[in-house]
Amino acid sequence: MKFLITFLGLVAFSLMIEAQVGLDITAKGQFNSTWLFNKNISDQGAEQDYAPSWGSHYGLGLGMRLGFLGIGTEFNFGKHNAEYSGVILGSNYSSKVALSTFQLPLFLRFQNKGGVYVELGAQYNKVRKALYTRENLLPTTNDAISEYAKSYSTAFLGFGVNRKLLKSIPLGFIFGLRLQYGIKDARGVDAYGTALDNSIAYPTYAKTRAASAGINIGLMYTIDTKEKASGY
């Protein structure tokens, strides 16, 4: 993450000394399929199965562009959820972990003249709240914040399109897809609510990887700081 921040800082400096710099301000949101993968959960078979789960985030994005190359960051608040289902002692149950997060992504974006873009980056995720709930089998609701890492990071790949809404004003609509997978351990609990670092339940520790795939939408306002260079 530190290497990425340094690299993006150097890119930003190189953009500032060029002829045309576009500053982007984006109001955006994302609807995601969200997961928390852990090998010790995966190894339990029908007793602990992953179930589809959904999350979302919203926030503000800031970016800088020179021609096809840009850098950016966002300030997002969101939900990253994980759901499970299984059978134990002949009884079906379901459970859910709901993480409330603050997200700070940093990325490089490559965009052609038609507005089609590809982005690569990493994201810092601050865990603000963690709530565990279980239904059907001894129903319970627990605050699980102490079992999760205070923060974790993810890497992501995205692609989409940025199209102008009106020729008279520099306002564009962004629609894309962003895929993320955990770099750092998010820790946490299993489908029963047992801490994954419990050495009795799990003698061999396995890291938890947060993953998501989501539709990214937003409105982008662009400010051109200098005269347009030829070709753009």
pLDDT category of residue 216 using cuts at 50, 70 and 90:
very high
Write down the domain spans for the chain. Answer: 2-224
Q: What is the pLDDT of residues 133-187, one digit of tens each?
A: 999 888 999 999 999 999 999 999 999 999 988 777 889 999 999 999 999 999 9
Nearest to 158 by CA among 174, 181, 177: 177
Round to whole Å and give the CA distance between 70 and 188.
35
Round to whole Å and give the CA distance between 11 and 205.
39
Round to whole Å and give the CA distance between 146 and 51.
24
Q: Are 82 and 132 in contact (CB under 8 A)?
A: no
Q: Is 21 helix (H, G, I), strand (E, B) or coil?
A: coil
Place of tokens 């239904």: 135
From its phi and psi, is residue 4 left (phi > 0), alpha (psi between -120 and 50) or beta?
A: alpha
Q: Is 68 helix (H, G, I), strand (E, B) or coil?
A: coil
H/E stretch holding 97: strand 91-111
CATH number for the domain formed by residue range(s) 2-224: 2.40.160.20
What is the pLDDT, as a whole number, of residue 14?
A: 54
What is the pLDDT, as a whole number, of residue 229?
A: 42
Q: Are 28 and 218 in contact (CB under 8 A)?
A: yes
pLDDT category of residue 125 using cuts at 50, 70 and 90:
very high
Instruction: State if pTM tops 0.75.
Output: yes
Q: What is the pLDDT of residues 57-103, one digit of tens each?
A: 999 999 998 888 999 999 999 999 999 999 987 889 999 999 999 99
